Amino acid sequence: MSEYLRVIDAREDEAGFAAFLQARAGAVVSSEVSQQVAEILAAVRGEGDEALVRLERQFDCPDYTPERIRVSEEEIAAAYEQVPPVLLAALRRGIENVRAYHEREVPRSWREEMGGLILGSRVRPLESVGIYVPGGQAPLPSSLYMCAVPAAVAGVPRLAVCSPPRADGSTHPLILVTAKECGVAEVYRLGGAQAVAALAYGTETVAPVVKVVGPGNRWVVEAKRQVFGVVGIESLPGPSESAIIADASAHPGLIAADLLSQAEHAGDNTVVLFTPSARLAEEVLAEIPAQAAALERAALIARSLREQGALVLVRDLRQAAALASALAPEHLELAVEDPEALAECIENAGCLFLGPLAAVPLGDYAAGPSHVLPTGGTARFSSPLSVQDFVKRTSLVGVTEQGLQRIGPDTITLAEAENLTAHAEAVRKRQPGAARGTSQRAQEV
């Protein structure tokens, strides 16, 4: 057992890795958190702004007032003076990269005639979207633009951002500037479950939205779970996860740096290295303590690696791909000689990072795809946040006489097989020569 990473030898027996997977499966929200969230949602739904002020005073800012709920346009404009030009330029380039990527995935409406049927799909943007941006440890502008830009590309006309106030009641200027750069007109100083409640139900100050997206702590995620159905949600995001598959060609110093970078979020991040190279494994284990000692979040990193991390020795890259697919991580780096070939063997991952230069932080900030990715193994059936999450599709069906003659009899037969005779009659009355005021059966009687 390493001081930082548990070592699992899966070359002959995969039981150890199976136990590691099982320990991460099926995280259950505590009944206490669920009850607390339910009470917060009920309070905001029933009391509106009054509840928001009371809850913000309790959780975020003792001097919170109703006037602080919505950030003024003047404050947003003034925020630009507090953001260094170099940072603003980097932010704008990152936003542009994300926009360029997501413009390639815009779905289109279509309409065609097929054998007497006029069929199609109409695509329209959602009417409004609320974006939750955490702010507990540091401002997270990337979480904002990774949600806001795909929504804007989709054409959503109204975007509203909620982010918790700082202790003095203000909002970090970088969040305000990012919102403005993304075209967001509404910014609210609201955090936690109360922010989700305001977006879902609306209050005197906050108009409700139709979908809520964005990461957050367990109270935020549970609030999204409980308001689902009133509004849409994109996912129930959990702690960040990263895995690396590395062969003997990988540089141990870079692999160690990548493991450390993905373990510094909140102390509960899953970080796994798969390798068939015992030499690389030894060198990485030796590198980690030396690099970790110089990092600001060394304690968080150590906790993540000890409690959620693993180094898995595998027979070959094929086995590594199978085990990584079983993990279905949010991020998966392929630090191997032929990453493209190995990528074809990966079934489940939120985002694949191809080759030794493709570090996960590049995707976190500036590469292009939204960094809002499936977590908790949900990459087995879920996809990254995209433009598709911000549009709705409506199916179109038109029928000509030819089409009715072609599919009408089959429809009647199938409806009657399900004992839905009214369905059958609705089609039978449209058949050529049918009486449209009296049922065929009544005529026969």
Q: How far is CA 70 from the centre of its chain?
A: 25
The residue from 56, 186, 234, 330 that is catalytic is 330
Cβ atoms within 10 Å, residue 117: 18
**Residue 331 annotated to the active site:** yes
Q: How far is CA 383 from the centre of its chain?
A: 8
Pairing of strands 117-125, 110-114: antiparallel
CA angle 14, 349, 278 (to 5 degrees): 40
CA distance 250 to 257: 12
Q: H-type helices in 48-139, by residue range?
A: 49-59, 73-79, 85-102
The residue from 102, 172, 331, 371 that is catalytic is 331
**Residue 222 annotated to the active site:** no
Structure tokens at 257: 């740096």
The DSSP 8-state label assigned to residue 126 in this structure reads -
Cβ-proximal residues to 364 (8 Å cutoff; 6+ apart), any chain: 142, 371
Placement of tokens 């007032």 in the chain: 65
The DSSP 8-state label assigned to residue 164 in this structure reads P
Active-site residues, by number, are 330-331
